Amino acid sequence: MPKSKLFSGIQPTNLLHIGNYIGALKQWVELQKKYDCMFCVVDLHAITVPQDPKELRQNILNTAAAYLAVGLDPKHCTIYVQSEVPQHSELAWLLSTLANLGELERMTQFKDKAKKHGERASVGLFSYPVLMAADILLYDTQVVPVGEDQMQHVELTRTLARRFNTRYGDTFAVPQALIQKVGARIKALDDPAIKMSKSESSANYIALTDQPEVIRKKIMRSVTDSDKYIRFDPEKKPAISNLITIYHHATGRNLKQIEQEFENKGYGDFKSAVAEAIIALLDPIRTKIENYLRDPSELQKILDAGRDAALELAEQKIKQVRDRVGLGRK
């Protein structure tokens, strides 16, 4: 039996953070042996909001280095940069002719980001989910591991796949999202009402490359809830529940064990334990990222091979799609 196809990606917009790790990368590492995986650095998605070209180039390498440092193994998966495989853009255009304005207007990520950018929000930000659908459908993907915030985009992808198949004949597999239960959405350290995000201020997140002192400071300064108990209750105690979730992922201890561990202790003790657990988790990852970036030749080789493998698959698929739609000449 061939393995099922899996696709996922992260935008190279800034330093990756523990939200990205818990919500995405950690799962990827576990999934890479079970599925036939493509892990993409989605730079075309990153430019839907303004990016500095020099920083973008660096962030592409940083993101790829993080993929490898957390344990993605190019023997088991294809790691590559989205813009180096132009078929993504072509398929996005073709799918955009099937997507309608109403369904794109309902996307909550667009609504949130458009609010921030107002009249200057780009058309690309609006059609972002169509490009994401193209990424997924280009490889006949069956499984898409993402955080909860991306669920709506995967739903749209399914709709577009079915619509295309109905109109032009069976062409695309209809993919499924794979969401992790605890920690699908890590919250910002300075505001548990919003998700941890690399596009916000640095007090909001812990980057995979943050030094131990920085991690300690950020956790000790993170907001807490009104009473003094360490209890998992995301409704009434969103800040502490968020730290418990992070602690759970860093140590492997379950929620009950964690509540018991801190039953008679205060926020100070709890926060120190969380900080030390994160430091222990990130120490080897940070060192590996630094090593890959110090001499990027190995990283470059892996990305070259990934690009070539992706190009071959993408070209086969796009030929089939052009043919189904009736584009060009025979």
Contact footprint for ligand ATP (CB under 6 A)? 10-11, 13, 19-20, 22-24, 146-147, 149-150, 185-186, 195-199
Is position 33 annotated as part of the catalytic site?
no
Task: Please state the closest distance from residue 11 (CB atom) to ligand LTN, in A.
Answer: 6
What the block records as the tokens of 208 is 């995979």
Q: Does 35 bind ligand LTN (CB under 6 A)?
A: no
What the block records as the tokens of 25 is 């990368």
Q: Does 65 bind ligand LTN (CB under 6 A)?
A: no
Query: Can you tell me the distance from the alpha carbon of 76 to that of 32, in angstroms, rounded to the nearest whole number?
Result: 6
Q: Residue 67: which H helix or E strand, with range?
A: helix 53-69
281 versus 321: smaller Cβ distance to ligand ATP: 281
Q: Which residue is nearest to ligand ATP (CB)?
A: 23
| Catalytic one of 5, 26, 187, 195 | 195
Sign of CA dihedral 238, 240, 243, 249: negative
| Catalytic one of 113, 187, 218, 271 | 113
Task: Please state the closest distance from residue 219 (CB atom) to ligand LTN, in A.
Answer: 25
Query: Can you tell me the distance from the alpha carbon of 187 to that of 239, in angstroms, rounded to the nearest whole number?
Result: 8
Residue 19 contact among ligand ATP, ligand LTN, none, beta carbon within 5 to 8 Å by kind: ligand ATP
From 9, 11, 22, 12, select the one nearest 281 (Cα to Cα): 22
Q: Residue 8: which H helix or E strand, with range?
A: strand 5-10
Q: Does 230 bind ligand LTN (CB under 6 A)?
A: no
Q: Does 7 bind ligand LTN (CB under 6 A)?
A: yes
Q: Report DSSP letters for 244-311, one per residue.
A: HHHHHHHH---HHHHHHHTTT--HHHHHHHHHHHHHHHHHHHHHHHHHHHHSTHHHHHHHHHHHHHHH
Q: Does 17 bind ligand LTN (CB under 6 A)?
A: no
> Which listed residue (27, 83, 150, 241) binds ligand LTN by CB under 6 A?
150
Task: Please state the closest distance from residue 180 (CB atom) to ligand ATP, in A.
Answer: 8
Task: Please state the closest distance from residue 148 (CB atom) to ligand ATP, in A.
Answer: 7
Query: Can you tell me the distance from the alpha carbon of 188 to that of 246, in angstroms, rounded to the nearest whole number?
Result: 11
Report the 10 Å Cβ neighbour count for 54.
8
Q: Residue 177: which H helix or E strand, with range?
A: strand 176-178
Q: Does 83 bind ligand LTN (CB under 6 A)?
A: no
Q: Which one-letter amino acid corresponds to residue 183?
A: G
135 versus 210: smaller Cβ distance to ligand LTN: 135
Contact 42, 82 (CB under 8 A): yes
Is position 195 annotated as part of the catalytic site?
yes
23 versus 74: smaller Cβ distance to ligand ATP: 23
Q: Does 45 bind ligand LTN (CB under 6 A)?
A: yes
Task: Please state the closest distance from residue 162 (CB atom) to ligand LTN, in A.
Answer: 18
Per CB under 6 A, residues contacting ligand LTN are: 7-9, 11, 42, 45, 132, 135-136, 144, 146, 150, 153
> Which residues belong to the active site?
113, 195, 198
